[in-house]
Amino acid sequence: MKYLKLLCLCMCLPFFSGGALPAYAQPRQQDPGPRHVQDTLPIIGLQQDTAAAQKFAHQPRFSPALKITGLVLGSAALWTATYAWVDEPLQKFTQQHRTAPMDMLAQAVEPMGRHSLLLPVTGTVALAGFAINNPNLKKVGMVSLGSLLISGGFTGLVKNQVHRYRPSVTGENHFYDWGEEVSDNTSFPSSHTTVAFAMATSVASVYGQEHGWVSPVAYGTATLVGLSRINDNAHWATDVMAGAAVGYLSAKGAVFLYNLTEQKLKARKSRLLLAPQAGLSSASFVASLTF
């Protein structure tokens, strides 16, 4: 009887203690502290990502057309300021401080802006690229050739309409022979600078991403060509600026046309073949498109 009472007391003890189980029968619980910290970390990270996304969403975004408009207006404002306040003082300063080393440097880089010299070079590079089937060499040759043809045609048209006087003829930058059919005054824009920047942009567009040093060297050389024309008293600063813009835009346009043509050819599984034809007094390309 005594043992029966003791057994009943043990069986009822969990109920009187609020349903508590012995320590060995209770499920093991983890420390709530570290678990709480671990659970909140993803929430904190999510809140930070959400805040960053909201901050980015509230930042002003400009459309490509608006960016281009701003760039054009800014460039026009800079050119106008240079025309008004820099052209003549810079011309006087450079001619008063000309040195033999500067003349030698200008003479060394001047051929890099000759249209008649670089045009056959780019054609040869393009043919070499097709001959050895090198995509980059093929592209840089075709883009350079196209940019020189585009910029050369545009530069010649503007020169023959504006007829601006060179600084070697007059010390004032506002003399023109507008619209005259015959005139020796063809200062605007600088053809050497146009050619140099067309070549620099073409090379940088093809090789600049693979080799980081290509773009600074290409544009640095083109800038030296432009400065050489100011040093030689052949062009005003605004002539050089306009030539740089024409060369850059011509090359970018040639890159766009090349990429578009390449995409179309791949999509249609077409083939474009180029073959040179050389004569005693002329040279040309024959293009054949198979699709």
Residue 28 lies in a domain: no
Predicted confidence band of residue 288 (pLDDT cuts 50, 70, 90): low
Residue 56 lies in a domain: no
Q: Each residue of 146-166: pLDDT tens digit?
A: 999 999 999 999 999 999 999
Q: Which two tokens stand for residue 210?
A: 């693979």
Task: Say which DSSP state 2 is in.
Answer: H
Residue 132 lies in a domain: yes
Predicted confidence band of residue 275 (pLDDT cuts 50, 70, 90): low
Q: Which residue has the tokens 């929430």?
A: 43
Q: Which whole number is the average pLDDT over 236-264?
A: 95
Task: Say which DSSP state 183 is in.
Answer: -
Percentage of the chain beyond pLDDT 70 is 71
Q: Which whole number is the average pLDDT over 36-61?
A: 53
Q: Each residue of 6-42: pLDDT tens digit?
A: 434 444 444 344 444 444 444 455 555 554 444 444 5
> What is the distance in angstroms between the CA of the first residue and the CA of the last residue of the chain?
108
Identify the pLDDT of residue 93.
97
31 or 233, greater pLDDT: 233
Residue 160 lies in a domain: yes
Confidence check: pLDDT of 184 > 60 = yes
Predicted confidence band of residue 60 (pLDDT cuts 50, 70, 90): low
H or E element: which one contains 285?
Answer: strand 283-290
Among the listed residues 241, 144, 126, the one whose alpha carbon sits nearest the alpha carbon of residue 198: 144
Q: Each residue of 106-142: pLDDT tens digit?
A: 999 999 999 999 999 999 999 999 999 999 999 999 9
Task: Say which DSSP state 275 is in.
Answer: E
Instruction: Supply angle C-alpha 149, 181, 148, rounded to 5.
Output: 10
DSSP 53-104: HHHHHHS----HHHHHHHHHHHHHHHHHHHHHHTHHHHHHHHHHT--HHHHH
Identify the pLDDT of residue 3.
41
Q: Distance of alpha carbon 219 from its chain centroid, rounded? A: 11
Q: Which whole number is the average pLDDT over 86-90?
A: 97
CB 272 within 8 A of CB 288: yes
> Rounded mean pLDDT of the chain?
82
Confidence check: pLDDT of 5 > 90 = no
Q: 240: how many CB neighbours lie within 10 A of its CB? A: 26
Identify the pLDDT of residue 236.
98
Q: Report how far residue 143's alpha carbon sits from residue 145's, in angstroms, rounded to the nearest whole number.
A: 5
Identify the pLDDT of residue 250.
97
Residue 6 lies in a domain: no
Task: Please give the backbone phi and psi of residue 164, each rounded to the nearest 5 degrees, phi first.
Answer: -80, 145
Identify the pLDDT of residue 37.
46
Q: Each residue of 200-231: pLDDT tens digit?
A: 999 999 999 999 999 999 999 999 999 999 99
Identify the pLDDT of residue 53.
53
267 or 71, greater pLDDT: 71
For the chain, the residue count is: 291
Residue 260 lies in a domain: yes
Q: Any idea what the CATH number is for the domain that residue 237 is in?
A: 1.20.144
For residue 133, what are the domain limits?
98-290
Identify the pLDDT of residue 9.
42
Residue 73 lies in a domain: no
16 or 189, greater pLDDT: 189
Residue 157 lies in a domain: yes
3 state SS of 286: strand
Provide the number of structural domains found in the chain.
1
